[in-house]
Amino acid sequence: MTTIRRFCCNDLLRFAAVNLDHLTETFNMSFYMTYLARWPDYFHVAEGPGNRIMGYIMGKVEGQGESWHGHVTAVTVAPEYRRQQLAKKLMNLLEDISDNIDKAFFVDLFVRASNAPAIKMYEKLGYVIYRRVLRYYSGEEDGLDMRKALSRDVEKKSIIPLKRPVTPDELEYD
């Protein structure tokens, strides 16, 4: 029971139930607002009956040439609305926009190497581990760069896994 619509500033005052979850980061204002100001179609919220915020996804589109891609910055669902495949719905929406509107080659995301449940979920959604990023999280934990090819990448070149891990300063984008 999900109305998915664009995220707006007022939602920042309504997402406490989602963000009090300890794995969900509450970023500073300029971070959220930069995403809203630049990629409003990549920032969506799911609302349930009684106008409750169920979860949201924020992302962006960037890159040059064949690296032009959608990126998932955060996807999160309130505890009350878990186990209903809401994250999948939100991810599919972002993939559709990257694929159909922005004609991107792939969608990628970063996940903590220790976050087994999340990695499993992304794999189910068709993402593969493209490369490992050493000490990506606060210089401590490794991150995994996971990717899913879109229709424009006919030969699925973008998701051929790299043989060696990279360091954060080798990353092309923030």
- 32 vs 122 by CB, closer to another protein: 32
Edge-to-edge strands, sheet with 106-112:
3-6, 43-48, 52-62, 69-77, 106-112, 141-149, 128-137
Which contiguous run of DSSP H or E holds residue 89?
A: helix 86-96
- 17 vs 113 by CB, closer to another protein: 17
Minimum distance from residue 170 beta carbon to another protein (Å): 20
Which 3 state secondary structure label does DSSP give 150? coil
Task: List CB contacts of 54: < 8 A, sequence separation 6 or more.
Answer: 2, 18, 46, 47, 48, 77, 78, 80, 81, 86
**One residue of 10, 140, 163, 174 binding another protein per CB under 8 A:** 10
Q: Which of residues 125-154 bind another protein (CB under 8 A)?
A: none
Minimum distance from residue 96 beta carbon to another protein (Å): 9
Which stretches of the chain bind another protein, using CB under 8 A? 1-6, 8-10, 12-14, 16-17, 19-23, 26-30, 32-34, 36-38, 40-41, 47-52, 79-85, 97, 100-101, 116-117
